Structures are given as C-alpha cells and as structure tokens.
Amino acid sequence: MAIGEVVIDQNRCRGCGYCVKFCPRACIAIPGDKFSAEGYVLAVFDHPENCNACGACGWLCPHFALEVYKYVDAKPVAAGEVK
Amino acid sequence: MADEKVLLQSNEAVGWGALAADCMCFFGYPITPQNEIPEWFAREFPKRGKIFIQAQCETGGINMLYGAACTGVRAITSTSGPGWGLMQETMSHAANAEVPFVVVIVQRGGPGAGTTNHAQMDYISATKGGGQGGYKTPVLAPNSAQETYDLVQYAFHMADRLRTPVIILSDAIVGQMMEPVVKRKLDFGPLPEKDWAITGFAHRKSGQRLMLSCAQGWTGQPPYLTYQSFMAHLNEKYPQIIENEQKWETWNTDDAKLILVAYGYTSRVCLEAAMMARAEGLKVGLIRPISLWPFPAKIIQEKVAQGSRFLVVEDSLGQMVEDVKCVVQGKTDVNFLGVLARHNPGPGGLIFPGRVLQEVKKLL
Amino acid sequence: MSDTTTKQKVWVSGTPARWVRHPQGGRQCPGCHHPIMERLFCEILAEMDIEGNTICVPGVGCGARMSMVVNIDFITVAHGRPPDIATVAKRILPDRLIFTYQGDGDCLSIGLSPFISACARGENITIIMNNNGGFGTTGGQMGPTTLMGQKTTTCPDGRLPTNGYPIHAAELIAPMKGVAYSARSAVNNPANYQQTKRYIKTAFQRQFAGAGLSFVEVLSACPSDWKMTPLESMEWIENQMIAEFPLGVFKDVDKRAE
C-alpha cells in the first residue's frame, strides 16, 4: 500500500538533481532519456513503493516542480469497526 | 484665536511649516549651513510622537525618506550641496516610483566641498536632476522666513497631489535670516487617498497585495504593463506640470525697460536695486521665480513680447540665466551678473544692491 | 482483514499553499537557491498567518524575484538600501513584520553602511542575507564573501590577498549591542532547510519582542555563475563555504540592551 506520492510537473522540472540526491529512499531518479519541452532533463518518480512522504524533495525543489502527498486513513466507512 | 506671530529663523521655519503640514518624519544629517533644521526636528518631533532619525549619511537619509513616503506618511529631509549630491540616485528612484516627499536644500558654495557660506549653485542639479534617467522634480524657492514656512506646507500638498518629490531650494542667507513669521496652517484643498501606499495587504481596502516599485514599466505590473506605457505616462505628467504649476512674483514690470530676474537671497538684493533705480527715474522691474521647475516661462515670454530686456542676477557662474536665455530665444538681450560681482573675493562675499544698480545703469 | 477505510491524499510539501501562482515563479537557473528561500518564506508566513501584515524590502538582484511568488506587500528600492527603508517602515508601522531579503553584494558591499548603521541603531527589523559568494545577477563578479582562491569574472585568477578578504557578516555584527540575533544557516540539504526555517522564525520573534535587529545569513548556491552543476554547487557549499562560514547562532538575546 503506497504511503507517499510525488507528482512531478514536467513543465517546471529543470533536472537539477536535488530531489534525487536528498531522497533518503531512492524514490526519484533522472534516467537521462526524458526531457521537458524546454530541453531540461527530467526527474521521474520511479520507485513509489519506497516513498514514505518525508517531504524533503518538496522542500528543496528550486522550481516548484514537485508536490508531495501522503496517504492517510480517511474516516471509517463501515459501522461497528473499532480502531 | 489670532495666528501666532513669532521671530523665526528660516531654517527653523522649515520645521514649523512641516509641523503645520502634519509631517510625520524627518531624516537628515549634519551639514552646514542647515544644521538648525535637524536640530529643530530632534528637539520638537520625538516629544510630539513623531519620528526623527539622524541617518548615517545623506544617502541613508534620502532612502529613509523614500521608505516613509512608500508607507503613505509625509516626510522631509534637509541638506546642502554636498549632501544633495549623495541623494541623486534615490531622487531618480522616487521619480520612477512616484512617491511624494520634501527635500530642503540650503545652498552653499560649490562645486565639491565649495564653501560653507551662501551661494546659488545648485539650481542646475535641482531643476535638471543629477540622477539617472531624465526625470523632473518640482523646485520651489523661498526668499524669506515667512515664505519658507508657507512653501514647506505648499510643497507637501503639491507632492501628494502630483505624486512626486518636491524640492525647496533655499540658501545660507535666506536660511539664517530671522524674520517675523505668522504661523498658521494653510489649506490647499482636498487630496486623493494614497491607495498606492504600502502597509500590508490586510490594511488595504482591496485586500490585494501591492508592490511599490522603482522600476515601473520594467516589472510589467499594473498600471504600466510595458516600459513604453510608463514613458507615455511621464510624457503626459511633466508637460501638465509645466503648464499648470508655474509660480512667480513681479514688481513693477508693466512698463519696465529692464527686468531683473532673481530668486532667493539675490531677489531681495534685486528688489532693493530696482527700488533704487526707480527712485532715479529708471524703468526697472523684477521677476522673482518662485517655481524654478517648472520655470516660469509664461511671465518671461509676456515681458519679451512687451519689449523688456533682462538682467539675471544669481550667485553662481550662470545657471538660471541659461533657462532665461532658452525662453527668450534670442529675441532680446539677456545679461548676467554673478558670483564674480561679489563685494569681496572671500567665501562670504555678497552681491550688493549697489553693484546691481551699477550694472543696471551700464545697460540702460 | 479487509480494510474498510479509504485513504485520502494529504499534501505534505512542494508548492506552498498560499503562494502567488505566477507563471514565472520558480523559473530561475536550474538549481538556484532563491526559490528554496521563497518557499521557506511562504511556509513561515503562512504558519504565522501574517501575510497581510508583512512588508518585505528586497535588495537588487535575483532575490528580488521573490515578489512574484510570496503573497505580501513589497517596496523595491536602490541597491543596498533596504535596511534604511525597513528601518522607517518599522518605526511607522511597528506592529507589522518588516524584513529585508538581500544578497551578499547588496548587504555587504554597496549596502554596508545602511546595514551596519541599522545594527548600531538596533532597529527592530529582520535582515535576511543570501550569501552566494558574489554578485550573481550580473554574471558572477567577486563579492564581499567570495572565498580566497575562488575564481570569479573580476578575479579570474582566483581571489588573492590583494583583493582583500571575505566579510563574515554574522560574526561581525554579533558583538553590537543593537543586534539581538545573528545566525548563519544554509539550504543545501533537508536538515539545513529546516534549521534555516527555525532561525528565521526565531529572528521574526526577536523583532516582535523589540529586542533589536535580527539577522540570518543563508549560504546559498549560484550554479550558473559558479560554473558548476547544481549538485556540484551543493558540494561547494558543504565542503568549501561552510568551512569558511560556519553555521550556527552567534548572538541570541530576547531583550533590548540597556
């Protein structure tokens, strides 16, 4: 079950590599074969199963290209279920 | 209740005039011959809950002035020639951002450190602007303590009305004179609200944030979405000021064959000289520009058409005389009496009425 | 066991919720640290819920682009002069949060006089200085914080003793009575990002306590002018700049000096 999700805006990413370097779980990579419309090499969120939504990549992105989300439990929908 | 009548030094009259205009702040720096001005504000402002800061230098002073004006309050500084030189960059920024404040220059000898005594050598830098980009700033020239008190109030109103800094160009003689002054608050009419002032968007009716920029036109922010639209705006603003804001005073010019043109202390000298000339039957008059920018071209042109000739008297090597010549356009002769006509060659030398009369007689 | 709850997505980090969605926001050189600071300001001001009562006076340089994305009032002014404007804005509007955001050239070269004078007077303003070792906007000339041996366009052989020595602003002003808080941080890794955020928040608190001038110097990268990749520039901060400009708090008092 995924914990975190990183959405990368391909119009904003400039391939600086900070997210790759500072992700503690190697969730993001720059494969080198994907490019933005402006010609910058793109980062991809290629190991979502590792992401724990720490948010570090989102803090350090210089181009407002990353949004980090965490999946949290919504309210229980079944009656009688006790947590 | 009768207005208070007091004996005031013109320099101190700056302070009383600013107080009457509800000025909130003074920022300045020591320089002769205007130290009475910051000293007045240091005494009188803090105890009234107003702000006095002696800045680290005149550059600091003018930037503090800019900052105060950006928040929408009235603020004033004073200086002399060398300090005025340091203020040029931010005068230009203020002209771009269109923020209002008042700068009092009490002229001394120049160039450089010059002298610490009177002169009239900052006319060009005040009226043409010493900073970058070709802006214009209104300049008003008092010649008495009463007029200093009145023009400071007028300057604040003009600055707010036109959204521009305004310069009061005094000199060491005018500044040091002690004369009776009737102190009263002058009312020049209603003013628009300063909706451009920066105070935090929670305090703005629109609730929208604002940037007050010294790069209007370049930033692409409303109302000047392009640089050219900002240029077009200045191209309207300055001619309107030239048309509407000229101020002058005349003495006996209706039948004058020769008209003296002088401002500040030399205008008092010339009034005396003109009176002496009339007593001898010579048809001499006086035009006293009160606004130096916009230069009172209208009255000069009127007198050119009347057939008068001109003698410009200013305590410099010739600055205002160039503007007179420019307006006259060679249609008649424009003569000049300047710093070399002082009665002694020292820093304290004066152009006396007798010397002016001597020149008048040479010409007539 | 079947999971009868559903998951919902909660935003964690990235684009600050209350920033201005400007089309040019974040479009600086790849790896520029100014937008990281912009995000930091947006986060801090939102957490303090104070945007409507804040005025920033940016210096002249790429840092001034923060006016595109940070949702507050701004006053722009001549190079080096923000401390003068901030001084006056705070005196006139003492309940607002007033801060400057200047580069090392703006603050320590042309602006050294306004900077030190504001410190001496103990103005209740916050000065945030972005230290990227030179004049970035104009193409990478030597600045007051350029390191010895560092090559720039106006010291192409590297900074020599004849070019003088870097100014250490945070240490320089710490002994001054008018200074309440002086700290240095960086945004070159997640831990330092959070530390910078804490320092700036503390600085803002010192402002409201009326304790005097608060100052935070932030080591920052300019990959374009350093002629490095963004990741190399992070290494430069880690290995070279921090050795010369140590991180930490150099002064912290919460009351105005006698």
Residue C198 has pLDDT above 70, yes or no: yes
Both tokens of residue C242? 């921090």
Which of B334-350 are b and which e, b meaning 16 or more Cβ less than 10 Å from the residue's Cβ? bbbbbbebbeeeeeebb
pLDDT value for B3: 86
pLDDT, tens digit (0-9, with 9 covering 90-100), for C47-69: 999 999 999 999 999 999 999 99
Q: Which residues neighbour C167 within 8 Å (Cβ) at sequence distance 6 or greater?
A: C108, C144, C145
Neighbour-count burial of B321, counting CB atoms closer than 10 A to its CB (0-12 exposed, 13-18 middle, 19+ buried) = buried
Task: State the span(s) of chain B assigned CATH 3.40.50.920.
Answer: 249-363
Chains A and B touch (3+ CB pairs under 8 A): no
C-alpha distances in Å from residue C183, one per residue of C103, C109, C201, C213 = 16, 19, 12, 12
pLDDT value for C166: 98
Chains C and B touch (3+ CB pairs under 8 A): yes
Residue B341 has pLDDT above 70, yes or no: yes
CATH topology of domain B4-183: Rossmann fold (3.40.50)
pLDDT, tens digit (0-9, with 9 covering 90-100), for B228-239: 999 999 999 999
pLDDT value for B2: 73
CATH topology of domain B249-363: Rossmann fold (3.40.50)
CA-to-CA distance for A50 and B128, rounded, in angstroms?
68
Average pLDDT, chain C: 95
Partner residue facing C96 (CB), from B66, B93, B200:
B200
pLDDT, tens digit (0-9, with 9 covering 90-100), for C23-38: 888 899 999 999 999 9
Neighbour-count burial of C221, counting CB atoms closer than 10 A to its CB (0-12 exposed, 13-18 middle, 19+ buried) = buried
Both tokens of residue C108? 């320590």
The CB density around residue B171, as the number of other CB atoms within 10 Å, is: 28
Neighbour-count burial of C133, counting CB atoms closer than 10 A to its CB (0-12 exposed, 13-18 middle, 19+ buried) = buried
% of chain B with per-residue pLDDT over 90:
97
Q: Chain C residue closest to B200 (CA)?
A: C53
Asked if A73 lies within 8 A of C5 by C-beta distance, the reply is: yes
CA-to-CA distance for C214 and C212, rounded, in angstroms?
6
CA dihedral B172, B173, B179, B184 (to 10 degrees): -40
Contacts of C193 in chain A (CB under 8 A): 56, 59-60
pLDDT value for A77: 56
pLDDT, tens digit (0-9, with 9 covering 90-100), for A24-72: 999 999 999 999 999 999 999 999 999 999 999 999 999 999 999 999 9
Write down the H helix ranges in B54-103.
58-70, 81-86, 88-97
Average pLDDT, chain B: 96
pLDDT band at C161 (very low <50, low <70, confident <90, very high): very high
pLDDT band at A79 (very low <50, low <70, confident <90, very high): low
Candidates A8, A63, A82: best to mutate against C (most CBs of C within 10 A) is A63
pLDDT, tens digit (0-9, with 9 covering 90-100), for C105-133: 999 999 999 999 999 999 999 999 999 99
Q: Which residues neighbour B331 within 8 Å (Cβ) at sequence distance 6 or greater?
A: B304
Output phi, psi for B33, to 5 deg.
-110, 45
For domain A4-70, the CATH class is alpha beta
Asked if A68 lies within 8 A of C12 by C-beta distance, the reply is: yes
- Provide the pairing of β-strand B51-54 with B102-107: unpaired
Amino acid letter at C188?
Answer: N
Contacts of C5 in chain A (CB under 8 A): 73-77, 81
pLDDT value for C23: 87
Q: What mean pLDDT comes out for the span C152-178? A: 95
Contacts of C121 in chain B (CB under 8 A): 53
CB proximity A56 to C under 8 Å:
yes
Partner residue facing C190 (CB), from A4, A59, A67:
A59
Side-chain-facing half-sphere of B268: CA atoms under 13 Å: 14
pLDDT value for A83: 44
pLDDT value for C3: 53
CB proximity B132 to C under 8 Å:
no
pLDDT band at A80 (very low <50, low <70, confident <90, very high): low
Neighbour-count burial of B125, counting CB atoms closer than 10 A to its CB (0-12 exposed, 13-18 middle, 19+ buried) = buried
CB proximity B321 to C under 8 Å:
no
Q: What mean pLDDT comes out for the span C229-248? A: 97
pLDDT value for C1: 45
pLDDT, tens digit (0-9, with 9 covering 90-100), for B278-288: 999 999 999 99
CB proximity C109 to A under 8 Å:
no
pLDDT value for B142: 98
Q: What mean pLDDT comes out for the span B164-192? A: 97
CB proximity C231 to A under 8 Å:
yes
pLDDT value for B185: 97
Both tokens of residue C75? 């006053």
Q: Which CATH architecture is the domain C34-252 placed in? A: 3-Layer(aba) Sandwich (3.40)
Contacts of A81 in chain C (CB under 8 A): 4-5
pLDDT value for C127: 98
pLDDT band at B17 (very low <50, low <70, confident <90, very high): very high
Q: Chain C residues within 8 A (CB-CB) of chain B?
A: 20, 51-55, 57, 67, 71-78, 81, 84-89, 91-93, 96, 113-114, 116-117, 121
Q: What mean pLDDT comes out for the span C12-32? A: 92
Q: Are B326 and B352 in contact (CB under 8 A)?
A: no
% of chain B with per-residue pLDDT over 70:
100
pLDDT value for B32: 93
Contacts of C76 in chain B (CB under 8 A): 97, 211-215
Q: Are C76 and B211 in contact (CB under 8 A)?
A: yes
Q: What is the ipTM of this complex?
A: 0.91
Q: Are C221 and C188 in contact (CB under 8 A)?
A: yes
DSSP annotation of C135: B
Contacts of C35 in chain A (CB under 8 A): 62-64
Asked if C13 lies within 8 A of A81 by C-beta distance, the reply is: no
CA-to-CA distance for B231 and B210, rounded, in angstroms?
21
Beta bridge partners of A9: none
The whole-angstrom distance between C74's CA and the closest CA on chain A is 21
Partner residue facing C6 (CB), from A56, A59, A77:
A77
Asked if C5 lies within 8 A of A75 by C-beta distance, the reply is: yes
The whole-angstrom distance between B16's CA and the closest CA on chain C is 21
The whole-angstrom distance between B24's CA and the closest CA on chain C is 9
